[in-house]
Amino acid sequence: MTKDSSGSKRDLTRRAVFSGSLALAGAAAIARPNLSLASTAAPGIDVAKKTVRVGAFAPITGPVPFYAIINRASDAYFQELNASGGIQGWKVEYVVRDDGYEPARSVAVTQRLIEEDQVFALVASNGTAQNVAVIPVAKQHNLPIVGPSGGSPKLVAEPNIFPLLPDYALSAAACTEYSVDVLKKDKIALLWENDELGRAAKRGIDLYLSSLNKQTVVDASFNVRSTDFSAQVRRAAEANAEVTIIFGSNANLASALRAANAIGYKCDWFAPFFTADPSTYGLAKDLLNGVRFSSWLMPVDADNENVRRYREAIVKHYPKDPMGVFGLNGWTQASLFAAAFDRLVSSGNPITREGLIDALNGMSNVSVGASKNVTFSKDDHRGTRQETMIQAQDGKFRVVRDFTPYPSVVFNAKP
């Protein structure tokens, strides 16, 4: 996004503020912001100026403000894209609005994006419950949701939603498969965060192990804002677990590593992809070395063209944001939209929401952003089907296994 288009985004908001105060007075009819474009074009599409407007809701405030890093990285992607000529000359405007991580507000924000901002699609809209909550509204307008930052079978099932973020059950199963098949270790302890992330991971691991007639030796949960892991880690130690899989935040991982270090417990550790992040080194220091991560994204420090462009762009556009997996995630989700829109323009079909959905459904084994082999079809919206194994080594994240399909027992299991 260039300087003036970000200015126009401000104007939009100001207009909304203005209509807000009118509503407060409760006395006036509100003229909807007149963004009318060429009469036949789809919402958010300006054929004359060759611009496409997309939007997202993001938790800029509330309990998890750091998730908004994802959407700022998406914005950085679009700014870079526009600066380098756009998508076959099309420029992208990206409108991000705060929902405080409250699903009811996500619905309100989505209606606002549809009615006032007239967005063409949502890109990298943030949060699982939040995306699920807007399904009815999005369906009503046939609004494509491209790369929602949330993983749920409910999202995968919708014809207009195209998620990249895999079900955590799959990542967790990949970790389990790696430790059983590659490391030859099957005494596995699972520490799971009591939320959608941890519960999904537990489902995947249990499913995979039960297919081998095995089970975890320790199954302990912890709360989202857990502080003290000494009890959970002690349980893993007393069960002589050779492998500990922990599905929680990077602070949880670091706390657990410290607790293990404090009691002198050693094992192989696995953690979710978003903890393969430089900030985790900041918290856990050397204790992080050796920890493995099953990831649908290449490492942040990978020597890859797309990932390097992300690193350069984030420093340029959002120097205050940390360079890490959250950002790479948002960058990749935005790349997915750009790739799909590119196919839509190339196809010569009319630029409509239906057209975008068709273009996405035609994507097969495409590499977008930091992900590889993304595939969508009309009946199957599980975009990510493979993950790579990353290991923390001497302050860096190294690929120790290339992109490999998910264990099929879990991938093909009914949700």
Partner 1 sequence: MISLLWQGTVTGLLYAIAAMGLVLIFKSSKMVNFAHGAIAGLSAFVVYVATTGALGWPWLAGVLLALSVAVGVAGFAYLAIAPLLNEANTLKDTATTATIATLGFGLMAEGVILWVFGSNIVSLDLPLPAWSTSIVGVRLTSYDIAVLLVTALVVAGLFVLIDRTRLGIAFRAVSSRPFAAAVCGLSVKRVHLFSWIASAILGVVAALLVVPTTFLSSTTVATFMLQAFAAAVIGGFESLPGSVVGGILVGIASNLFTFYVAPEFINSFLLALILMSLSFFPGGILSRRVGARV
Partner 2 sequence: MSDGLITTARSQREFGRPGRLSLGQIEVVAVLIFAALPFWLSNFWTYTLSLTLANAILILSVSFLIRYGGEVSIGQNFFAAGGAYAVAILQTRYGIPFPVGAMVGAAAGVLTGLIFSWPSRNLSGVYLSVATLALGLCVPEILLQWSSLTGGFEGLYVEPNLVPGVASGVQQFYVALAGLGITVIALARFRGSRFGLALLTARYNPKAAEAFGMSLPHVRLLVFAISSGIAGFGGSVLAFASSTVSPNSFSFLTSVYLLVGAVVSLYSTRMIAAVVGGMFITLVPLLMSEYGEIVPIIYGLALFVVIYMANIVVPAAQAAIRRRKARA
What residues make contact with partner 2 under the rule CB under 8 A? 10, 13, 16-17, 19-20, 23-24, 26-30, 32, 60-63, 65, 68, 97-98, 100-105, 107-108, 111-112, 114-116, 127-130, 132-133, 135-136, 152, 154, 194-196, 199, 223-224
Q: Which is nearer to partner 1, 87 or 201 (CB)?
A: 201
8 binds, among partner 1, partner 2, none (CB under 5 to 8 A by kind): none
225 binds partner 1 (CB under 8 A): yes
Q: Which is nearer to partner 1, 130 or 275 (CB)?
A: 275
Decide: residue 7, CB within 10 A, 0-12 exposed, 13-18 middle, 19+ buried.
Answer: exposed
Minimum CB separation of residue 167 from partner 2 in Å reads 12
Q: Which is nearer to partner 1, 249 or 371 (CB)?
A: 249
- Is residue 66 within 8 Å of 25, Cβ to Cβ? no
Q: Which is nearer to partner 1, 185 or 258 (CB)?
A: 258
262 binds, among partner 1, partner 2, none (CB under 5 to 8 A by kind): partner 1
Minimum CB separation of residue 409 from partner 1 in Å reads 27
279 binds, among partner 1, partner 2, none (CB under 5 to 8 A by kind): partner 1
348 binds, among partner 1, partner 2, none (CB under 5 to 8 A by kind): none
Query: Which of 130, 131, 226, 306 contacts partner 1 by CB under 8 A?
Result: 226
**Positions 27 through 86 that interact with partner 1 (CB under 8 A):** 61, 63-66
Minimum CB separation of residue 271 from partner 1 in Å reads 15
Minimum CB separation of residue 26 from partner 1 in Å reads 28
Query: Which of 77, 168, 178, 222 contacts partner 1 by CB under 8 A?
Result: 222
**HEC profile of the chain:** CCHHHHHHHHHHHHHHHHHHHHHHHCCCCCCCCCCCCCCCCCCCEECCCCEEEEEEEECCCCCCHHHHHHHHHHHHHHHHHHHCCCECCEEEEEEEEECCCCHHHHHHHHHHHHHCCCCCEEECCECHHHHHHCHHHHHHCCCCEECCECCCHHHHCCCCEECCCCCHHHHHHHHHHHHHHCCCCCCEEEEEECCHHHHHHHHHHHHHHHHCCCCCCEEEEECCCCCCCHHHHHHHHHCCCCEEEEECCHHHHHHHHHHHHHCCCCCEEEEEHHHCCHHHHHHHHHHHCCCEEEECCCCCCCCCHHHHHHHHHHHHHCCCCCCCHHHHHHHHHHHHHHHHHHHHHHHCCCCCHHHHHHHHHCCCCECCCCCCCECCECCECCCCCEEEEEEEECCEEEEEEEEEECCHHHHCCCC
Q: Which is nearer to partner 2, 118 or 388 (CB)?
A: 118
Minimum CB separation of residue 201 from partner 1 in Å reads 14
Cα 58-62-66 angle, rounded to 5 deg: 60
Minimum CB separation of residue 302 from partner 1 in Å reads 23
The total number of residues written for the chain in this structure: 415
Picking from 179, 391, 190, the residue whose alpha carbon sits closest to that of residue 290 is: 391
Judged by CB under 8 A, the stretch of 18-26, 75-83, 230-238, 354-362 that binds partner 1 is 230-238
Q: What is the largest CA-CA distance in the chain?
A: 72
Minimum CB separation of residue 281 from partner 2 in Å reads 26
250 binds partner 1 (CB under 8 A): yes
Query: Which of 19, 142, 211, 221 contacts partner 1 by CB under 8 A?
Result: 221
**Positions 152 through 211 that interact with partner 1 (CB under 8 A):** 194
Minimum CB separation of residue 259 from partner 1 in Å reads 8
Interface with partner 1 (CB under 8 A): 61, 63-66, 194, 220-223, 225-228, 230-232, 234-235, 249-251, 254-255, 258, 262-264, 279, 282-283, 285, 320, 322
